[in-house]
Each structure stands twice: as C-alpha cells, then as structure tokens.
Amino acid sequence: MINRDHDYTLRVAGTAIDRIKALSLPADPQGFELWYCYATGHDPELNGAINRALETTGRLSIREAEEIYHQYLASSRPETKINDAGSRLSIEVDKIVELLDELILSTSQGRDDCAEASVKLGQSSDSNAVRAIADALIKSLRAIEMRNSALEQRLSAAKMEVETVRGELAAVSIEASRDPLTALANRREFERAIEEMVEGAHRQQAPLSLLMIDIDHFKAFNDRFGHVMGDSVLRLVGAVLKQSIKGQDLAARYGGEEFTVILPNTTIANADIVAQQLCRQIASRELKRRSDGESLGSITVSIGVAAYRRGERSRTLIERADAALYAAKSAGRNCTRCEKPLNGNTSVGASFDTTFSSVSSPS
C-alpha cells in the first residue's frame, strides 16, 4: 500500500535524504526513490541487498546503488518487462526470418540439383553414368532433407519461444492494468475504461453510472492499528467490490483509500441500489487481528453516485460523482449520496440538479 499521509511521508523522505547525505550519493529521482523505498522497509530483499553491501565497507558506491535500483525497482516495472519481452520477441522474429531464408535457399538448391540431373539423364545413355547421376541426386536430396529437418526443429523452437514471449506480454499487460494490493483495476486502467465507456454510452445512447467510494476514517485506522492492517482493509473492500460487480462493470482502486465502480447500461436509480448494497455489505464485515483474534470493529464507506449526461466528457462525470461522495462524507459518512434527477426523469440525457438524494446509513 502506498501511504500518502503527510507526516509519515515527510519522516520517510527525511530518513532517505539523511542516508543520501551520509553516503554522499546523488539525490536525483532515481537515488531518492531507492532510499525512500529503503526507509519504508516495504521490500525486505532490497533492504537486505543494501545492508549486505554496507556491511562490507560501510559505503555504497554509485555503481552499486544503480545495480540495486535496477535489480529491485526498475526491473519490476511493467514497462521494463514489456521492453525486455519486446526485445526477445524481436530477436526470435529475426531468427525465424533467417531460418526461412535458409529453407528457401535449401529448396532452391534441391530444385537446381533436380534440374541439372534431368539434363544429364537426357544426355546420357550409359547405364553406369545414369546410375552415378541418380546416386548423386539421391545423396543431394538426402542432405537437403537432413538440413530441412534441422531447420524445421529450429523453427519449431523459435515458434515456441515466440508463444512464450506472447504469453509473458499478455501477463505483463494485465499486471500493468492491475492494482497489486487489491487485484482491482488501477487508476490507469480506470481512466482508459471510463473514456471508452463514455464514448460507448454516447454512441449507443445508453445509460452509464459511476460510483466514487471512500473508506471512512482510514487514516485514523492506520494510525491506530498500523499499515499492515490498513492493507487488510483495502483488500477487504477490494474483495467486496470484486464479488459485487458483473458483466462489463469495472471496479478500480482510484488512489489511496478511494475506489470507483463504472456501471455501463445502468440507470442512476439502479446504480443507487448498487451503492446502498455495497455500503451495507462492507459495513457488515467484521475485522479481526489474525495473530490474536481481537475484533477491530467494522469498516464503513461513503459513496457518491452520478450518471452520464449525453455529450459530456468523462472528467466531468468523475467530478460530479466526487461531489456526490463529498456530500456523503459531509452528511456523516457510512451512507450514499446520489444525484437527484429533475422531475423524476432517469432517462438517457436527463438533466440533474445540484442537490443530492439522501440514503440513510445502512448500519
């Protein structure tokens, strides 16, 4: 989990800067990222690599720091994995092209040998000469057959490697669109999806609704029980959202303790029902500390609901859903707030006023 609490991040940043100063290392973005991650202690393998290097001489050279950065941070990024897989794919494609050239050359040689043998046979009437020509042709064709067999094996191996790389690229593509903690779509995937779904709703004149969800008092929970339990809360909310969506619905972690759900082909009235159900389901879950079974109470969320207005941009829809979320939090949290349609009209392209319909606390 990325903790964005002001005091916590300042403490971590201060520790990172102190390390950089003490070791006289560059304070560029790469160097700061390395020591910031070290200061959080979230990656034991990275910290172990740095600690082992420091134990030897008490120092860490720029080269050593760069090697650790690329091994534990840069190499884990989807972009790096995509670039690596792309390079391997390019190499394998080059191999296949080279093998195909060899196969074409071998086939051409076989055709030339057959043509030459045909000419010689037509010019010779001596049985011994004919036998010698036939033996030479058979020997040449067998050699070509052996070469082609070897080429087929190499082509098969190259094809298998291409399939492996394609699978890796597909896996990395999924990884790049997922939040690692909750396994929901990440912010990047949400922004891509909301653009696509807004365009679809406009083109098909279909309804589209959006939920903005925020965990109530999450910072206070983190301060009291620690960030490990905070991660558990985020996973719990993510699991409820994942279990509750269906079809083309998309649940995403928007950032920090905020989530969002896109509901295509869903009117605002039905989206309001979904929001209330989510609110109740999350509030009904009791959290327990795994080590001693102690109850930590329940977690509640506030939810804002907005519907797509024909012709608007996705950013405007997000802003109105966020305004509804703010209204829910201002109303005391553990509730939902939904845009109130004018004259009860919930059809596509309907106008909405700036007030919100109230939904009582589900707890």
- How far is 321 from 337, CA to CA, in rounded Å? 9
Q: Which pLDDT belongs to residue 352?
A: 37
Of the ranges 12-21, 66-75, 268-277, which is most confident?
Answer: 268-277
Residue 216, pLDDT > 90, answer yes
Q: Which pLDDT belongs to residue 11?
A: 83
Compute the half-sphere exposure of residue 241: CA atoms within 13 Å on the CB side of its CA: 29
The three-class DSSP label of residue 211 is strand
C-alpha torsion sign, points 96, 99, 101, 103? negative
212 in Cβ contact with 321 (< 8 Å) = yes
Mean per-residue pLDDT, 182-196: 91
pLDDT band at residue 275 using 50, 70 and 90 as cut-offs: very high
Residue 266, pLDDT > 90, answer yes
Per the prediction, the chain carries an average pLDDT of 79
Q: Which pLDDT belongs to residue 168?
A: 65
* β-strands 336-341, 301-307 pairing: parallel
Q: Which pLDDT belongs to residue 341?
A: 57
Non-local CB neighbours of 195 within 8 Å, separated by 6+ positions = 314
pLDDT band at residue 87 using 50, 70 and 90 as cut-offs: low
pLDDT band at residue 42 using 50, 70 and 90 as cut-offs: confident
Higher-confidence position of 144 and 230: 230
Burial class (CB in 10 A: 0-12, 13-18, 19+), 223: middle
Helix axes 29-40, 44-57, angle to 10 degrees: 100
Which of 68-82, 282-296, 300-314 shows the lowest per-residue confidence on average (mean pLDDT)?
Answer: 68-82
pLDDT band at residue 76 using 50, 70 and 90 as cut-offs: low
261 in Cβ contact with 279 (< 8 Å) = no
Q: Express each pLDDT in 286-295 by its tens digit.
A: 887 776 767 7
- How far is 1 from 77, CA to CA, in rounded Å? 16
- How far is 340 from 268, CA to CA, in rounded Å? 9
Q: Express each pLDDT in 115-167 by its tens digit.
A: 676 666 666 666 776 677 666 767 776 777 777 777 777 777 777 777 776 66
Higher-confidence position of 352 and 149: 149
pTM of structure: 0.56
R_g over Cα of the chain: 32
Angle at 159 between CA 154 and CA 163, to 5 degrees: 150
Which of 38-47, 238-247, 299-308 shows the lowest per-residue confidence on average (mean pLDDT)?
Answer: 38-47
Higher-confidence position of 85 and 259: 259
Question: In one letter, which amino acid is 164?
Answer: T
pLDDT band at residue 351 using 50, 70 and 90 as cut-offs: very low
Non-local CB neighbours of 259 within 8 Å, separated by 6+ positions = 184, 212, 213, 214, 237, 238, 241, 251, 252, 253
Tokens 């699978």 belong to 167
Of the ranges 59-63, 75-79, 208-212, 243-247, which is most confident?
Answer: 208-212
Mean per-residue pLDDT, 228-244: 90
